């Protein structure tokens, strides 16, 4: 019951957060320099042309009036029409969301696998050169931003040893039988592993570039938690019972040590989605981030609003899920202690 009440409270704060984000974004993108009408004026446009275009895109009204009109539309599921593509914003952002989600999830999986392996290997080899080498590698992974990893990966796996695709999400010549935009998941469900391999070969480099810094963070934190747990009495007891070191680490220490990492992964996942903006651009990956940059360059105000609101919704939803799963996994919180 306490958990349910906490859930309702979080839902309410989430709604307030989203409204706050909407207000801020709406005002900020109209206040910063860069008028979308000025950008589309051809040579020779007159004052009358400027007034006509301004009115056509509803930008002749005051900012509060524009905001109210936009809110009325949002309540009815209409987030406006993109200035550059003349398409409904909701359709555009929902069409691109699956690509970004799949990329983020793949990056997360890679980060967890690599980070987990680093932590377990480091814990298993405490105080040895292996641990020192892993720490050095971790430091390097953390100190280089994801887009630079992207460039390095392009050079290695795109040019010198071209085993992965450099740009796009899928090979244009392939016929896609998909009914949803979740290409990766649907290819598995349809048992089309030829398409799955093609999609993975497009996603791998951007996902790895996103994953490397996160993997280092996970590896560092989980290793630290494991090392602390390894000194606790119940772990010592397990050792005295004759369990091997691998069993002690994975079965006894890991379940307790993983909780702080889980929280971190949740928080970092939201940053990871934010990181897709640059990475998607670099790899010309057809996700929300790539679309967001074009929207900003073209001052496509309705599209910027839609994308930011969607990003904000994802961030709050992920945080909510993390908090709930933490509460479910932590017995003290689960029983309201």
> Which residues would be at the binding site for other proteins (CB under 8 A)?
33-36, 38-50, 52-53, 56, 82-87, 92, 95-96, 151, 154-155, 158-169, 171-173, 197-198, 201, 281-284, 286-287, 290-291, 293-294, 297-299
Least gap, CB of 62 to other proteins (angstroms)? 18
| Residue 115 near residue 137, CB atoms below 8 Å | no
Nearer to other proteins, 203 or 235 (CB): 203
Burial classification of residue 244, based on how many CB atoms lie within 10 Å of its CB (0-12 exposed, 13-18 middle, 19 or more buried): exposed
Distance in Å, CB of 106 to other proteins, minimum: 16
- What is the Cα 181 distance to its own chain's centre? 17
Query: Distance between CA atoms of 207 and 56, rounded to whole angstroms?
Result: 41
Structure tokens at 80: 């406006």
In degrees rounded to 5, what are phi and psi of residue 88? Answer: -60, 135
* Smallest separation (angstroms) from other proteins to the CB of 87: 7
Instruction: Return the number of the residue (36 or 116) whose C-beta is nearest other proteins.
Output: 36
CB of 206 to other proteins, least distance (A): 11
User: Exposed, middle or buried, 242 (CB in 10 Å: 0-12/13-18/19+)?
Assistant: exposed
Tell me whether residue 81 or residue 220 sits nearer to other proteins (CB atom): 81
Of 261 and 290, the one with the shorter C-beta distance to other proteins is 290
Nearer to other proteins (CB atom), residue 188 or residue 327: 188
220 versus 298: smaller Cβ distance to other proteins: 298
CA distances from 45 to 55, 56, 299 (A): 15, 15, 19
DSSP 282-296: HTT--SHHHHHHHHH
Shortest Cβ distance from residue 281 to other proteins (Å)?
6
Rounded to a whole number of angstroms, the minimum distance from the CB of residue 297 to other proteins is 8
């Amino acid at each position: 019951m306490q958990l349910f009440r906490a859930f309702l409270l979080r839902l309410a704060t989430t709604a307030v957060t989203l409204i706050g984000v909407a207000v801020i974004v709406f005002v900020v993108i109209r206040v910063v320099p860069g008028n979308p009408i000025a950008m589309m004026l051809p040579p020779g446009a007159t004052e009358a042309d400027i007034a006509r275009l301004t009115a056509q895109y509803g930008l002749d009204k005051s900012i509060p009036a524009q905001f109210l009109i936009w809110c009325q539309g949002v309540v009815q599921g209409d987030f406006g029409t993109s200035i550059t593509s003349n398409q409904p914003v909701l359709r555009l952002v929902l069409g691109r969301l699956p690509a970004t989600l799949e990329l983020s999830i793949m990056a997360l999986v890679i980060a967890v696998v690599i980070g987990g392996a680093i932590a377990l290997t480091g814990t298993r080899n405490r105080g040895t050169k292996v641990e020192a080498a892993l720490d050095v590698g971790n430091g390097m992974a953390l100190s280089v931003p994801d887009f630079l990893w992207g460039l390095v990966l392009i050079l290695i796996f795109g040019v010198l040893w071209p085993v992965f695709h450099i740009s796009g999400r899928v090979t244009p010549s392939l016929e896609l039988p998909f009914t949803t935009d979740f290409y990766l998941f649907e290819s598995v469900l349809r048992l089309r592993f030829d398409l799955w391999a093609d999609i993975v070969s497009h996603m791998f480099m951007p996902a790895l570039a996103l994953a490397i810094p996160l993997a280092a963070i996970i590896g560092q934190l989980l290793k630290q938690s494991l090392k602390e747990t390894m000194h606790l009495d119940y772990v010592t007891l397990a050792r005295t019972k004759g369990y091997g070191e691998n069993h002690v680490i994975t079965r006894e220490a890991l379940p307790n040590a993983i909780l702080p990492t889980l929280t971190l992964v949740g928080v970092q996942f939201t940053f990871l989605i934010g990181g897709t903006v640059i990475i998607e651009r670099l790899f010309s990956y057809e996700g929300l981030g790539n679309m967001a940059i074009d929207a900003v360059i073209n001052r496509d105000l309705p599209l910027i609003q839609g994308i930011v609101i969607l990003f904000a919704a994802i961030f709050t939803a992920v945080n909510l899920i993390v908090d709930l799963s933490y509460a479910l996994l932590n017995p003290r919180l689960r029983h309201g202690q």
